[in-house]
Amino acid sequence: NAGVTQTPKFQVLKTGQSMTLQCAQDMNHNSMYWYRQDPGMGLRLIYYSASEGTTDKGEVPNGYNVSRLNKREFSLRLESAAPSQTSVYFCASTVGEGHQPQHFGDGTRLSIL
Amino acid sequence: GDSVTQMEGPVTLSEEAFLTINCTYTATGYPSLFWYVQYPGEGLQLLLKATKADDKGSNKGFEATYRKETTSFHLEKGSVQVSDSAVYFCALSDQGFQKLVFGTGTRLLVSP
C-alpha cells in the first residue's frame, strides 16, 4: 500500500522553464493538497482540492496551477519557474470528512537556477 | 485568521532527557490539533492528535493535551532517544474542512 506517491523526487530547472509535479494517492481519499516547505516558514498551502472536480487557492498560489485529474491524481504546474520557487513540495491527502489527519508524500526537492 | 506558534529550535537534549516542545494556537472555532514529525529526507507523519478540549493524544511515548483555557497543545516525552531526532510540527485544522495550519516546526537533536 503506497499511500501518497510524488514524482519526481528531485529536479533542477532553469529560470523560465516549466515543470509539472505529479501526485497520486491510493487510499480513496476525497481531498488533496499541495504545500511548499521553506526554512523557518513551516508548510504553506499552495492549492487544494476538496473533492474531484474542484480546486481552490491556498495561502501562496501565485506562479502555480493545479489539475485534479481524477480522484487519485493531483498535479502542480509551474509555468515559468523562478528562483523564489526553489523549495520542497509536498502533496497530501485526506478523507475530507471529520477531523481526519492528512497523509503526506515524501516530497519533491526543486531547485531553480 | 487561525495560527500556530511553536518554540524555536533547535532543541538539543541528551538521551533519556525529558522533552517539552511548546505549541500555542489562535482559532475562532473549535479546531482539532495535531503533531506531525518529519525525519530527514522524508515527508510528514502524523504523531498524535486531539479533537476536543481536554483530550490527550499519545503515540510512541509522546503525549500532548488539548488545553482550551490556555490555547495550548504542548508535546512531551519522558525519555527521548537518539532516534527521536527530527523536526516536529504542531498544526490545527478548522471545523468545516481539512485545511491544516502549521507552525514553523521545531528541530529536536538528541545526542547519545
Provide mean pLDDT across the span B84-110.
88
Residue pLDDT, tens place only, B14-63: 999 999 999 999 998 889 999 999 998 888 999 999 988 999 999 999 99
**Positions of E strands within chain A:** 4-7, 10-13, 19-25, 31-37, 43-49, 56-57, 64-68, 74-78, 87-94, 103-104, 108-112
Set of chain A residues whose Cβ sits within 8 Å of the Cβ of B45: 104
CA distance A45 to chain B (A): 8
DSSP strand pairing (A74-78 vs B75-77): unpaired
CA distance B104 to chain A (A): 4
Phi, psi of B41, rounded to the nearest 5 degrees: 75, 10
C-alpha cell at A60: 501562496
**Which has more pLDDT, A41 or B69?**
B69
Non-local CB neighbours of B3 within 8 Å, separated by 6+ positions: B25, B26, B101
Set of chain A residues whose Cβ sits within 8 Å of the Cβ of B103: 42
Q: How many CB atoms lie within 10 A of CB B27?
A: 18
Residue B109, judged by CB atoms within 10 A of its CB (0-12, 13-18, 19+), counts as middle
Residue pLDDT, tens place only, A66-106: 999 899 999 999 999 999 999 999 999 998 776 678 899 99
Residues of B with CB under 8 A from a CB of A: 32, 34, 36, 41-46, 49, 51, 89, 93, 97-100, 102-105
Provide mean pLDDT across the span A26-30.
93
Set of chain B residues whose Cβ sits within 8 Å of the Cβ of A45: 99-100
pLDDT confidence bin for B96, thresholds 50/70/90? low
